[in-house]
A and B are shown apart, each in its own frame.
Chain A
Amino acid sequence: MAEVVGNPKVVRGRARPRGGSRKSKTGPRPFGALAWALPPVAALVLFFLYPLALVVRQSLRPDTGGTSLQAYADVFASEAFRHALWTTVWLALAATAGCLLLGFLLALVIAFVPFPGARAVARFIDVYLSFPSFLITLALLFLYGGTGVVGSFQFLTTPWGVLLAEVTYFTPFVMRPLLAAFAQLDTAQLEAASSLGARAPRIVRRVILPEALPALAAGGSLVLVLCLNEFGIVLFTGAKGVTTLPMLVYGKAILESDYPGACAVAVVNVLISVGLYGLYRVVSRRAGA
């Protein structure tokens, strides 16, 4: 790529004499660089943004023809949608809080009270991230399902079952950035604090927690967005009582073939998720993560 070589940032120190044939390459070439960026952006527009735009268009066009906001009015008026919206939001918030607490505790032990095999545990967490989320619900079905090991009370069909599965699956997403942040923490700080008489809780609160905040913010907001969008965990519980927004989209589109309604719910869901994700990017950039 010519632009890369021609990038003036590459030339460091003293300005070099520009000679002969190289002269034409040393200036910035914004048009060439933009042209190179064009093909992937075009592919993204064709396969992602254009379909999303069609979803918005379909949500404004009921089957009867014409353009109307009828689908939105119907959706907002329906009890099921308001219920799903509330369930989605509180489940995601609660799961994020649980993941942050649990992830912080576990990462703390792995990083600062190391035991034989702590490395293996850290690697296990990496592997864990590569498994699909619905496996957790599948395992919980054996433990708490109809003829479960622990009991046959209908725990899994309540939001609490979904909450447990989400906390289990998403905690490693918090632990990974935390472990990376802890690895960069200078242990001399801990030693100094402890030699000055600080006890472990105080060291955690005054030394470790401030260092971990960017990682916690980054991991927590990512988990929040992923929880808002989670589908597999909820689908596998088979619960009629727990309906989140993605479940509602699936139900309306595939089970009821109500495409305008599904698209309206989808637009609301996208707005919530993208808004929160944008917030996450801004916060994590501020925090320097």
Chain B
Amino acid sequence: MLVHSRKARWAAWAVFLVLFLPLFALPLLVILGASFATHWSGALPSGPTLDHYRSATRGEALQALTTSLVTAVAASLLALTAGTWAALAGAALRKRHRRVLDALFVLPVAVPSVVVGLAVLVAFSQPPLLLNGTRWIVITAHTVLVTAFAHQSVSAALTRLDPAYEQAAASLGARPAYILFRVRLPLLLPSLTAAAGLCFALSMGELSATMMLYPPDWTPLPVLVYAATDRGALFTGSAVAVVLMAATLLVLFAVSRVRTRASYR
């Protein structure tokens, strides 16, 4: 306890609420409220309706939802594979080499994602690899962007891993592949699922790189939200945004269920 008097405590809580509610809770409530409304000119939204949700769950929007989900799942699986492989390989390297590998794999965080989009667009609009205009260019860009996060969280978990388990397995004669798949990866499973959830959420909300290179037949949800707000359809845009948030949260919740089951093992 930092403050002991009751008055000071209430003052601290009041400051917290005054700062926290308008800044963090209000934006989400505004979007949620607007998605059910037709007008918003007074203090509260008016004209309750479900029309925006009806249009946000069919046709173009439904297709965008599947596009986003497929892209996010593909990108997170690819990123998780590459990031985990790099983290496992890096753990076996000498310190100097490992530093280089770590620096290489965090680089996509530092590079602006718009530039990653531009780079992927420039590189894969020309032979030998012609991906421009296909869904693969979007998935590639998303994978590049989220691999850094997967690598970071898996390598952080690897340094916390108790080496006693794999030593015990090795001393009992387990082959390296057996140790990897039966000892290390199961022990890493909680952080692997956490990393997968992070990658998925990032990819679902990715807008900057996507705006640079999405083909017309592969439009993810954030682009649709932008298109709606850009033409002034703010209420439809917020309904699509709520669908985006709900889909992300649902998948994150499912992933966290896997984690709790694994951590009791």
Does B254 have its Cβ within 8 Å of any Cβ on chain A?
A: no
Q: Please state if B111 and A102 are interface contacts (CB–CB under 8 Å).
A: no
Contact of B118 among A134, A208, A249 (CB under 8 A): A249
Residues on B with C-beta less than 8 A from A52 are 111, 115, 119
Does A155 have its Cβ within 8 Å of any Cβ on chain B?
A: no
Among A55, A108, A203, the one with the most B-chain Cβ atoms within 10 Å of its Cβ is: A55
Contact with A along B215-256 (1 / 0, CB 8 A): 000000010011001100010011001001100110010000
Does A86 have its Cβ within 8 Å of any Cβ on chain B?
A: no
Residues on B with C-beta less than 8 A from A36 are 88-89, 92
Q: How many residues of A contact B (CB 8 A)?
A: 95
Q: Please state if B245 and A135 are interface contacts (CB–CB under 8 Å).
A: yes
Cα distance, A142 to B83, chains bound together (Å): 39
Assess A263 versus B122: contact at CB under 8 Å? Given A142-B30, A142-B234: yes
Among A40, A245, A263, the one with the most B-chain Cβ atoms within 10 Å of its Cβ is: A40
Assess A7 versus B40: contact at CB under 8 Å? Given A135-B31, A194-B4: no
Assess A131 versus B205: contact at CB under 8 Å? Given A40-B85, A141-B234: yes
Residues on A with C-beta less than 8 A from B4 are 194
Considering only residues 220-261 of chain A, those with a C-beta below 8 Å from chain B are 225, 228-229, 231-232, 235-236, 238, 245-246, 249-250, 253-254, 259
Cα distance, A143 to B44, chains bound together (Å): 11
Contact of A112 among B1, B108, B201, B202 (CB under 8 A): B1
Q: Please state if B24 and A128 are interface contacts (CB–CB under 8 Å).
A: yes
Does B262 have its Cβ within 8 Å of any Cβ on chain A?
A: no
Q: Please state if A139 and B31 are interface contacts (CB–CB under 8 Å).
A: yes
Q: Please state if A48 and B108 are interface contacts (CB–CB under 8 Å).
A: yes
Contact of B112 among A7, A143, A228 (CB under 8 A): A228
Q: Please state if B12 and A274 are interface contacts (CB–CB under 8 Å).
A: no
Assess A113 versus B110: contact at CB under 8 Å? Given A4-B92, A44-B105: no
Does A75 have its Cβ within 8 Å of any Cβ on chain B?
A: no
Does B70 have its Cβ within 8 Å of any Cβ on chain A?
A: no
Does A287 have its Cβ within 8 Å of any Cβ on chain B?
A: no
Considering only residues 37-82 of chain B, those with a C-beta below 8 Å from chain A are 40-43, 82
Main secondary structure of the interface of B (DSSP, over half): helix
Does B130 have its Cβ within 8 Å of any Cβ on chain A?
A: no
Cα distance, A109 to B97, chains bound together (Å): 42
Residues on B with C-beta less than 8 A from A68 are none
Assess A254 versus B211: contact at CB under 8 Å? Given A37-B97, A37-B101, A269-B112: yes
How far, in Å, is A186 (CB) from chain B's closest CB?
A: 14
Nearest A-chain residue to B3, judged by Cβ: A200
Assess A142 versus B3: contact at CB under 8 Å? Given A134-B226, A229-B114, A274-B111: no
Q: Please state if A139 and B28 are interface contacts (CB–CB under 8 Å).
A: yes
Considering only residues 190-208 of chain B, those with a C-beta below 8 Å from chain A are 197-198, 201-202, 204-208
Does A140 have its Cβ within 8 Å of any Cβ on chain B?
A: yes
How far, in Å, is A192 (CB) from chain B's closest CB?
A: 13
How far, in Å, is B172 (CB) from chain A's closest CB?
A: 12
Does A121 have its Cβ within 8 Å of any Cβ on chain B?
A: yes
Does A15 have its Cβ within 8 Å of any Cβ on chain B?
A: no
Residues on A with C-beta less than 8 A from B82 are 40, 43-44
Contact of B89 among A10, A37, A110 (CB under 8 A): A37
Residues on B with C-beta less than 8 A from A51 are 116, 119-120, 122-124
A-B contact pairs, 12 of them (CB 8 A): A1-B180, A4-B179, A5-B166, A34-B97, A37-B97, A48-B107, A51-B122, A106-B20, A138-B234, A142-B234, A142-B238, A171-B23
| Chain B positions near chain A (C-beta within 8 angstroms) | 1-4, 8-9, 12-13, 15-16, 19-20, 23-24, 26-28, 30-31, 34, 40-43, 82-83, 85-86, 88-94, 97, 101, 103-116, 118-124, 140, 143-144, 147, 163, 166-167, 170, 176-177, 179-180, 184, 197-198, 201-202, 204-208, 211-212, 222, 225-226, 229-230, 234, 237-238, 241, 244-245, 248-249, 252
| Chain A positions near chain B (C-beta within 8 angstroms) | 1-5, 7, 10, 28, 30, 33-34, 36-37, 39-41, 43-44, 47-52, 54-55, 58, 102, 105-106, 108-110, 112-113, 115, 121, 124-125, 127-136, 138-143, 145, 147, 149, 167-168, 171-172, 187, 190, 194, 200, 203-204, 208, 225, 228-229, 231-232, 235-236, 238, 245-246, 249-250, 253-254, 259, 262-263, 266, 269-270, 273-274, 276-278, 281
